[in-house]
Amino acid sequence: MSHHEAIPEGTDKFRDTISLIDNSGERNWVYAKKPKGKLHTARSFFGYSLIFFLFLGPFIKINGHPFILLDILSRKFILFGFPFWPQDLPLLGLILITGVVAVILFTVMFGRLWCGWSCPQTVFMELFFRKIEFMIEGDFNEQKKLDASPWTTEKIFKKTLKHIIFYTLSVFIANIFLAYIIGADELLKLITDGPIVHWGQLLSLIIFSTVFYFVFAKFREIICIVVCPYGRLQGLMLDNNSLVVAYDFVRGEPRGAIRKNETTQHGDCIDCKRCVQVCPTGIDIRNGTQLECVNCTACIDECNDVMTKIKRPNGLVRFASQEQIVNGTQHAVSFRSVAYVAILFVLIGASVYFVSTRKDISTAILRTPGMLYQEQDSLHVSNMYNFDVINKTFTEQQIDIKIVEPIAAELKMVDRKLSHIQLGEDSLAKGSFFIILPRDKIISNNSEIKFQIWSNGVLIDELKTNFIGPVKLNSTK
């Protein structure tokens, strides 16, 4: 985005540097001022509610089953109470693409609001870790002083206390994410069994907790600026109509402190730099939209407070598009947004359709690879088949595979006493069976077999496969 109009000549050095690193190449530690204001209150309320649901997520059950389970290890997924199997991958892919388009659309329209208001990284950082830091070490100036001071007993005490709390909180967060992967019941079992029994899981928990600890205690905004792919794609997604946290340079410039008896006409920005002090990524929003800005809106609150004090209208820094600021127009919806909305509707429609028409019980029958036919006796020939039946419901199912055509065919299970397949909830059964045909009924060397799949006495599916037979032998008879 072009902001040349906003930046006084020779002061655009910020373009050559990144807020994270100082001139000597060292990390520029951001001492952010304690945020406060209406938006911060709203953001806190919103963020704490999200975390509450994040914590609650693994413990919510529908009919005794998790609402969400992302068991990557055993490749079992439950979304909104519906079990998904690796066989549903195309459907999960469609849901994922729908989600990505929704995020892109949201970004095109509302900028990085997700980053500042909903992303777990920011929410945990700003509403937990940074608040604890403010409580123990004080506001930004006191933190700066403490860091620069020699190691007194007080400093050792404060730092140790802070890092112990940070690590404990990280362990807690790691446990919540673990609960999403292995399920809340399994997690509670791990905890009650004690760490020694499950040392493997304990090790992964320690690794995850340590990673979280470093993310929140040390890396902080580096994650948003350098690591997060969503953050790095901002340049592609934002356009001049995207709503972003923006400084109204038309109103604000030329900036300058208010001095008594001064005749020069200044803009509304009094260059107090409070918007810079409060920024958790250490940037100056007056330089325009930057990669580092996570749209946390803290600078809006801060500047509004300044504007109220100097009796100027609020909103010198506000949520607005570049177009609105330059032309003073109302927010317009870009063609890009309309196109994304259309695509999103199609994708949501397709996802809903495929999820609602998804078979609760999926069956696959394939002739056992690498096998021809077997001669059972002088009058009968058989083919061997492998089957996979997946029960994607939370009720037990009794599956019967019946042959519809040819009528003379007989099905014989291998290694199974029962002719039907008993399937527990959300489970898979594999096996093999023979189809035996009388020789005189084989009219082709590759004939079609039609099956019906019955579940608990209800017809649920019809399948076809082929039967390879010794046609020559048959025809010579």
Residues of the shown chain interacting with ligand SF4 in the complex, contacts defined by CB under 6 A: 245, 247, 252, 269-275, 278-281, 283, 285-286, 293-299, 302-303, 306, 316-317
Nearest approach, Cβ of 219 to ligand SF4 (angstroms)? 16
By beta-carbon proximity to ligand SF4, the closer residue of 58 and 116 is 116
Instruction: Report in angstroms how near the CB of residue 270 gets to ligand SF4 at its nearest.
Output: 5
The least CB distance from residue 3 to ligand SF4, in Å, is 13
168: helix, strand or coil: helix
Nearer to ligand SF4, 295 or 337 (CB): 295
Indicate the SS3 state at residue 277.
helix
Q: Which is nearer to ligand SF4, 33 or 367 (CB)?
A: 33
Of the two residues 105 and 278, which places its CB atom closer to ligand SF4 in the complex? 278
Q: What is the DSSP string of 220-260?
A: THHIIIII-HHHHTHHHH--TTS-EEEE-HHHHPSP----T
Burial of 433 (0-12, 13-18, 19+ CB in 10 A): buried
Distance CA 475, CA 440 (A): 9
Least CB distance from residue 6 to ligand SF4, whole Å? Answer: 11
Dihedral over Cα of 457, 462, 467, 471: its sign: positive
259 vs 477 by CB, closer to ligand SF4: 259
Q: In the complex, what is the shortest distance from the CB of residue 250 to ligand SF4, in angstroms, rounded to a whole number?
A: 13
Q: Which is nearer to ligand SF4, 170 or 281 (CB)?
A: 281
In the bound state with ligand SF4, the residue whose beta carbon lies nearer, of 233 and 443, is: 233
Q: Tokens for 208, please give them.
A: 């995850």
Question: In the numeric block, which tokens belong to residue 107?
Answer: 């970004």
Question: What is the spatial distance between Cα 149 and Cα 141, in angstroms, rounded to a whole number?
Answer: 12
**CB of residue 324 vs ligand SF4: minimum separation in angstroms?**
16
The minimum distance between CB 17 and ligand SF4, in angstroms, equals 16
Closer to ligand SF4 by Cβ: residue 179 or 298: 298
Q: Phi-psi region for residue 56, left (φ > 0), alpha (ψ -120 to 50) or beta?
A: alpha
Q: Report the chain's C-alpha Rg in angstroms.
A: 32
Min CB(352)–ligand SF4 separation in Å: 35
Name which of 114, 168, 140, 178 is nearest 30 in CA terms: 140
DSSP per-residue codes, 90-145:
HHHHHHHHHHHHHHHHHHHHHTTHIIIII-HHHHHIIIIIHHHHHHHH-SHHHHHH
